[in-house]
Structure 1
């Protein structure tokens, strides 16, 4: 079988790695493509996953996203057509959905957030199967574009699965120059270019509070180069912004707390047992609602 896997955001190499490895171990051919966005390519490199890079993110505007979608999908279609794939797999890639539909490649989409509007509708409607946590109801998935016959709802978190064999590496603290006896906070900025992004002034207030704590070391894992530059411009000695993709999962496991405006890093902290607070100000998804109700994730409302 010839399989195609597309990674369009930093979480995707982590989520899809076990599937890629299982397919390869079973003797299948796997081709991986990536979008040049945030730390996606760097994480693929760190994990040793061979890949080809196609285009970049279209930015925060609707027009920019549409242009990038058309451009990247066209390039991927030219690349994929002669390869005659039997299966396409992604975690919400709209480009893969478009190309899979045009070239009639059966596709599977993973997802654990049901409220991203048109993006979900396109990818879910094009997919042969949609894999999602069972915290998201069948009806919510149907409203998002996944007919019930397509749905495979699994227990727990996606992070439980891809971190099942994980062992933290304390070397990540040495790599960052972090005192292992210090209080370590991991910070993740909001997804400013995502369709579901809402303005998040709380993030800046939390960062102000953390860098003012003399006993704490804060490590910010940026989504974009602009976020990294803005954090470095603060000139705060207790704020570390890595220059390249690092073993964020080990860092989370070894940290004292995580404060994140995203989703995957929050749920990684939950899976690894690290106290975590969310500052996400978009529409909450069913998975996070369930974690908050269970007391495994806390919502931060002020710094």
Structure 2
């Protein structure tokens, strides 16, 4: 039995790894999980009933504190891992795990899906890197990624777990959504990310102002952290048609029940696009290859200025029969889970 170490440092990684962990355990492997205490990552893990060890916290926006925080977490992870018989370390973008695994000579499998993050650590120290096939080979080579380390999977990260999704109407009752209301799910920009562009915040603020004047619209804000949630509660405390979530919810279900999504970039935008929900991106960083494809396919719309906010259509969405499209989602998810799990297991013997 191989002991596989998975490190989670952000909330979107929980649903991504959930089916992978299930398949690894089904095949008889032991899985150990560490988690960075950031945002609602631990809440989501608790909902999945996974055992895990919290190691470190997010250091905030300050670049100097990020360096210190990364160093501290690397050492804490290395201390945790050295007492265990780890055969392979796996993460989706955990620099701390890659560095800790390198210190301990543990084979390391890394993943990412946005090419404009800082990738140097992954490229130099990972033994294998799994990437969506939409990321161009020429661009990856120009950023110093040895082709021999790369394994590409046919699809998007979000498709790995979409096969497990089943809609539930109960969330509408929980959020007190009126039968005639337009539900707009709102994901603020990732203000602590190193690739964040402050222009996104100005555009997102204009979106909030517009919704405030649309009485038939209920804006559900899905904050990335508790601190961000508190900030939006203060900003919107006198506006009645907003709900700021204070706990983790089933994000896919919220998206499916929504009439539209406005997001600051990342996983939630892509989930909406894949589910066929109208999604508007206010992300103002470098547009990644995956989002470029979704925009080109008409599955995602860009809102790149304050004046563009007027192009957002607040209208009821006629939801299609989910059962008719679920078979395709399950098939793609099954193939991707098998591919990724096979690559993880093969790294043990390479």
Alignment TM-score, normalising by the size of structure 2: 0.83
Residue 152 of structure 1 is matched in structure 2 by 151
CA gap 1:109/1:145 in 2 versus in 1, 3 angstroms: farther
CA gap 1:93/1:10 in 2 versus in 1, 3 angstroms: same
Query: CA shift at 1:181, angstroms?
Result: 3.8
Residue 13 of structure 1 is matched in structure 2 by 14
Q: 1:193-208 counterparts in 2 under 5 A?
A: 193-199=192-198, 200=200, 201-208=202-209
Which of 1 and 2 has greater Rg?
A: 2
Q: 1:83-232 counterparts in 2 under 5 A?
A: 83-117=84-118, 120-199=119-198, 200=200, 201-232=202-233
Residue 274 of structure 2 is matched in structure 1 by 271
65-74 or 151-160, larger mean C-alpha shift: 151-160
Q: Measure the CA separation in 2 of the matches of 1:231 and 1:186.
A: 14
Does structure 1 conserve the Cα–Cα contact (< 8 Å) formed by 2:262 and 2:280? yes
CA gap 1:137/1:266 in 2 versus in 1, 3 angstroms: same
Does structure 1 conserve the Cα–Cα contact (< 8 Å) formed by 2:113 and 2:132? yes
Give unpaired runs (5+ residues) of structure 1: none
Does structure 2 conserve the Cα–Cα contact (< 8 Å) formed by 1:138 and 1:151? no
Give unpaired runs (5+ residues) of structure 2: 310-350
Query: CA shift at 1:180, angstroms?
Result: 4.5
Residue 348 of structure 2 is matched in structure 1 by none
The structure showing larger relative contact order (alpha-carbon pairs under 8 Å, at least 6 residues apart) is 2
Does structure 1 conserve the Cα–Cα contact (< 8 Å) formed by 2:226 and 2:246? no
SS of the residue corresponding to residue 186 of structure 2 reads: strand
The count of residues paired between Structure 1 and Structure 2 equals 301
CA gap 1:257/1:22 in 2 versus in 1, 3 angstroms: same
Query: CA shift at 1:156, angstroms?
Result: 2.3
Q: Measure the CA separation in 1 of the matches of 2:141 and 2:55.
A: 31
Does structure 2 conserve the Cα–Cα contact (< 8 Å) formed by 1:87 and 1:107? yes
SS of the residue corresponding to residue 82 of structure 1 reads: coil
Query: CA shift at 1:164, angstroms?
Result: 1.6
Query: CA shift at 1:142, angstroms?
Result: 2.7
